[in-house]
Amino acid sequence: MGRPPRTSRAEIMTAARRLIDRDGWEKLTMRRLAAEAGTAPTTLYHHVRDKDDLLTQLLDDYAAGMPRPAMPADPRERVITAATVIRDTLAAWPWVVSVLVQDDQVGRAALWMVETLLAGAVECGCTPEQAVDLYRTIWYYTAGEVLVRANHDRQQAEKPGATRRDALIRAVDATELPHLAALAERWATLASRDTYALGLRSLVDGFLRALPADGEPDHT
């Protein structure tokens, strides 16, 4: 029998998270991870196949550590609760969204959120196809919200104060753009509000009300 690897999987995962938090997941390589973990690159392959497998394991570990809230009896509320859990999970580690939007990285431990959302949608009257449509619509909304807010927060941390957009809006011509001009001084405050919950409920309510009577998904 060969000598077991001296660097544990937990140590590798911790080093990977530290490297990503500091430099971004795009700069993660097996060689850089080995240096961060203080081990040889060959040691990593006792635990992960490649970078994609490493990211998948990181996502799985992260999702497995998130608490599962009690789900409401009402199926519509379960859809909203599951979506909110997804959002809160991503918001705490927003780089994950950039990985997930590739549609090829997913952790098994996170699938319960998707299952809960799909089941709630079906109980609300959706066909399985419509439930997938609703999930995908919620996912696009949620991923976009998390990415935009994370980018804004990062920009504010790097360069606090008014943005170019804020200055542009304050300078608009009131005769040409009266509604925008009326909101110009409050725009930055209004635009920074957390309206995810309001938008999510509006999205779910609108989707369910628009379900076609014949039960077939409407992709028009």
- Does residue 127 register a pLDDT over 90? yes
CB-based burial label for 90 (10 Å; 0-12, 13-18, 19+): buried
* Cα-Cα-Cα-Cα dihedral sign, residues 158, 161, 166, 168: negative
- Can you tell me the distance from the alpha carbon of 202 to that of 196, in angstroms, rounded to the nearest whole number? 10
Q: pLDDT tens, 157-186? A: 788 877 888 889 999 999 999 999 999 999
DSSP states of the chain = -PPPPSS-HHHHHHHHHHHHHHH-GGG--HHHHHHHHTS-HHHHTTT-SSHHHHHHHHHHHHHHTS--PPPPSSHHHHHHHHHHHHHHHHHTSTHHHHHHTTSS---GGGHHHHHHHHHHHHHTT--HHHHHHHHHHHHHHHHHHHHHHHHHHHHHHHS-S--HHHHHHHT--TTTSHHHHHHGGGHHHHHTS--HHHHHHHHHHHHHHT--TTSS----
How far is the CA of 138 from the CAs of 17, 87, 89, in angstroms? 27, 10, 14
Q: What is the pLDDT of residues 71-104, one digit of tens each?
A: 999 999 999 999 999 999 888 888 888 878 765 5
Q: How does pLDDT run across 181-193, given as a tens digit for each residue?
A: 999 999 989 988 9
Q: Which amino acid is at 88?
A: D
If you average pLDDT over every residue of the chain, what do you get? 88
Tell me the domains of the chain and their CATH numbers. 71-210 (1.10.357.10)
Share of the chain above pLDDT 90, in %: 53
What contacts 38, CB < 8 A, 6 or more positions away?
A: 7
Q: What is the pLDDT of residue 103?
A: 57
Question: Is residue 218 pLDDT above 60, yes or no?
Answer: no
- Other Cβ atoms within 10 Å of 83 Cβ, number: 26
- Answer yes or no: are the C-beta atoms of 60 and 26 closer than 8 Å: no
Residue 106 — pLDDT band, cuts 50, 70, 90? low
